[in-house]
Amino acid sequence: MLMPAKSIWNSAPTSEQQVADTLRTLILAGELPVGTFLSQRKLAEIANTSVISVRGALRRLENEGLIENVPRLGVRIPQETPADIRDRYFLRTTLESAAVKLVSGKLPEEIKNRLFNIAQQLDRLAAEHDQKTSPEFARLHHEFHLTLAECTGSRLLLQMLQRIINPSLMMLNAVRSWIVPSEVHQNHTGLIQVIAAGNTADAVAAIQAHIQVGLESELAAL
């Protein structure tokens, strides 16, 4: 069983957040049937809570892309197809390439040091390949990529990336990446070195290669 992935990894969760965390954990662990409709009453029984709390939690999970709510039929966990995953990674590649163009060679020293520190932790966790650490990897991975986006100064670009690189999708990526052993590991330390160096073409090529590894690992696990 995976440890609960906190909503945006914040503290002191509300009742609604706790229900969302419980259902999110079950979804990411594969313990709720993919493609099968589940009533809000059934989900309330599973989470040992009220239907009202479930409704709020489901709105959060729908925004995160983990469930879909079909009127008169109920809620289901959608089954991503290879085409769905490729489409998600296409958008991520496009947006993150744009972000890297804006920040290449322009990262403030404090931010650069912070990203180097996060990158080293990510590479260590990836090398250990321990499923118990996948929530921590996902949290750091989310922070790494969103910090780069924040540095662009573009609020719209950040908002769009937050939809694609949200905590739940990062957790899903980590879970899938841990399923299939790979000789190719994400090199976050090398990535931030290239971005900080200031050669924009090299930085864009590096982020695209980086995202490609994530795509291939998810497709292999699927």
Q: What is the DSSP string of the chain?
A: -PPP--GGG-SS--HHHHHHHHHHHHHHTT-S-BT--B-HHHHHHHHTS-HHHHHHHHHHHHHTTS-EEETTTEEEB----HHHHHHHHHHHHHHHHHHHHHHTT---HHHHHHHHHHHHHHHHHHHHT-GGGHHHHHHHHHHHHHHHHHTT--HHHHHHHHHHS-HHHHHHHHHHHHHS--S----HHHHHHHHHHT-HHHHHHHHHHHHHHHHHHHHHH-
What confidence score (pLDDT) does residue 6 get? 42
Residue 184 pLDDT grade (very low, low, confident, very high; cuts 50, 70, 90): low
Asked if residue 126 and residue 21 are part of one domain, the reply reads: no
Residue 147 pLDDT grade (very low, low, confident, very high; cuts 50, 70, 90): very high
Q: Is 60 a domain residue?
A: yes
What confidence score (pLDDT) does residue 8 get? 47
- Counting residues of the chain whose pLDDT is more than 90, the rounded percentage is 41
User: If you average pLDDT over residues 95-105, what whole number do you get?
Assistant: 97
Per the structure, the complete domain to which residue 91 belongs is given by 82-221
Q: Is 19 a domain residue?
A: yes
Least confident of 35-49, 95-109, 180-194: 180-194
Asked if residue 171 and residue 103 are part of one domain, the reply reads: yes
Least confident of 10-19, 22-31, 32-41, 182-191: 10-19
The strand pairing partners of 38, in sequence order, are: 75
Asked if residue 93 and residue 72 are part of one domain, the reply reads: no
CB 26 within 8 A of CB 159: no
